C-alpha cells in the first residue's frame, strides 16, 4: 500500500528507521533502500520511486523516527483527499524570491509539528497549526508523501539539483502550482538534523531562485505591497549576509540587490541590505 523510499549509505541509521517503521506503520508497506547517494537525493529518490511497487510514496530521511502509531493509515487518508499534492510535517505559506528554503516571510506563515532529536526531543509546533493539516507551498524533505501519479508528473529535478539541498523545495514548489500541499499535525516524527546553510546550499538556493523567478514571490497569505517589500527585503538581507560570509562575489550580491530595488525600492531596506551584504565584517 505504501512504498517508503530511504536514501542512505549509513547502515546503522537505515536499520534503526526500518525497525521503527515496522513497529509503528500498521499497514502493508515496502521499504526501498537506495544506498548509492553519490549523485544526490534527486537521483536516489527518483530511482527509489521507479523501483517501488505501490501507488503511494513516502520519501523519508534516514535520521527520522516515528512517534505516531498507525501513521501509515493517516498518510493514506490524507493522500486520498481530492487535489492533494504532497504532505509533510514542516512547511511554509510564503516563498520569497530571495529565500533560503521553506522558512520565508513571517514566522506566522510557518507550519510544523515535530520533535527535535538534537535538543532532547523538544516538541516544536507552530501556534498557527490548528486542525490536522494546514495548506502550504513548500515542504521540508525530512518526510514527504505523495501519490506515484504526482511523482511521475513532477519527479525530482536531477538536472539542476545534484546534491542534497533544495530537492524538496523545488519538488514541492512545482507540485503546488497544480495541487494543494499540506503540513499535517497528526503524524509526529523526531528529526535528528538541523541542516546547514553552507556554500553548496547557497548555490542551490540561487539555482532555485533563477529557475522559478517568474513565479516568485509566492504566497497563500493576503499581503499588501508594503508587506511584500518588507518580507522580500529581510529575506535578501539574510541571503546577502550568508553569501558574503561564504565568499560569493561582490558582483553577484550587487546583482541581487539591484533585482530587489527594481521591484521594491525602499530606503530603509537599501541601507539594511548594504550593511549586511557589503559592510558588516
- Which domains are seen in the chain, by residue range? 2-200 (3.90.550.10), 223-279 (no CATH)
Contacts of 1 (CB under 8 A, 6+ apart): 27, 28, 29, 54, 56, 72, 76
pTM assigned to the model: 0.95
- Phi–psi pair at 65, nearest 5 degrees: -130, 140
90 in Cβ contact with 194 (< 8 Å): no
Q: Determine the Cα–Cα distance for residues 209 and 214; give it in Å rounded to an integer.
A: 9
pLDDT digits (tens, 9 = 90+) for 149-192: 999 999 999 999 999 999 999 999 999 999 999 999 999 999 99
State the helix-helix crossing angle for 167-175 and 41-51, rounded to 10 degrees: 60
Q: Determine the Cα–Cα distance for residues 97 and 100; give it in Å rounded to an integer.
A: 9
| In the chain, % of residues over pLDDT 70 | 100
Q: How far is CA 260 from CA 138, 221, 237, 273, in A?
A: 22, 20, 11, 10
Give 33's pLDDT tier (boundaries 50, 70, 90).
Answer: very high
pLDDT digits (tens, 9 = 90+) for 99-117: 999 999 999 999 999 999 8
Instruction: Check whether 281 has a pLDDT greater than 90.
Output: no
Amino acid at each position: 500500500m505504501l512504498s517508503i523510499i530511504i536514501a542512505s549509505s549509513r547502515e546503522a541509521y537505515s536499520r534503526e528507521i526500518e525497525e521503527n517503521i515496522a513497529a509503528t506503520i500498521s499497514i502493508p508497506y515496502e521499504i526501498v533502500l537506495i544506498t548509492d547517494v553519490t549523485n544526490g537525493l534527486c537521483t536516489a529518490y527518483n530511482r527509489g520511486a521507479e523501483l517501488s511497487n505501490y501507488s503511494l510514496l513516502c520519501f523519508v530521511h534516514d535520521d527520522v523516527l516515528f512517534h505516531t502509531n498507525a501513521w501509515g493509515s493517516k498518510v493514506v487518508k490524507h493522500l486520498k483527499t481530492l487535489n492533494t499534492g504532497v504532505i509533510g510535517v514542516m512547511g511554509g505559506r510564503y516563498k520569497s524570491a530571495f529565500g533560503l528554503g521553506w522558512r520565508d516571510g513571517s514566522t506566522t506563515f510557518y507550519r510544523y509539528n515535530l520533535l527535535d532529536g538534537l535538543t532532547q526531543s523538544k516538541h516544536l509546533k507552530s501556534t498557527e497549526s490548528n486542525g490536522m493539516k494546514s495548506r502550504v507551498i513548500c515542504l521540508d524533505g525530512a518526510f514527504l508523501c505523495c501519490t506515484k501519479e504526482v511523482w511521475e508528473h513532477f519527479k525530482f529535478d536531477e538536472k539542476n539539483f545534484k546534491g542534497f539541498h533544495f530537492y524538496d523545495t523545488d519538488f514541492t514548489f512545482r507540485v503546488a502550482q497544480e495541487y494543494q500541499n499540506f503540513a499535517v499535525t497528526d503524524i509526529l516524527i523526531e528529526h535528528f538534523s538541523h541542516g546547514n546553510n553552507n556554500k553548496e546550499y547557497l548555490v542551490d538556493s540561487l539555482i532555485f531562485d533563477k529557475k522559478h523567478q517568474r513565479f516568485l514571490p509566492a504566497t497563500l497569505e493576503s499581503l499588501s505591497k508594503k508587506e511584500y517589500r518588507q518580507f522580500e527585503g529581510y529575506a535578501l538581507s539574510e541571503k546577502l549576509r550568508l553569501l558574503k560570509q561564504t565568499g560569493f562575489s561582490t558582483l553577484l550580491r550587487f546583482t541581487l540587490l539591484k533585482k530587489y530595488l527594481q521591484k521594491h525600492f525602499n530606503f530603509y531596506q537599501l541601507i539594511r541590505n548594504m550593511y549586511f551584504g557589503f559592510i558588516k565584517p
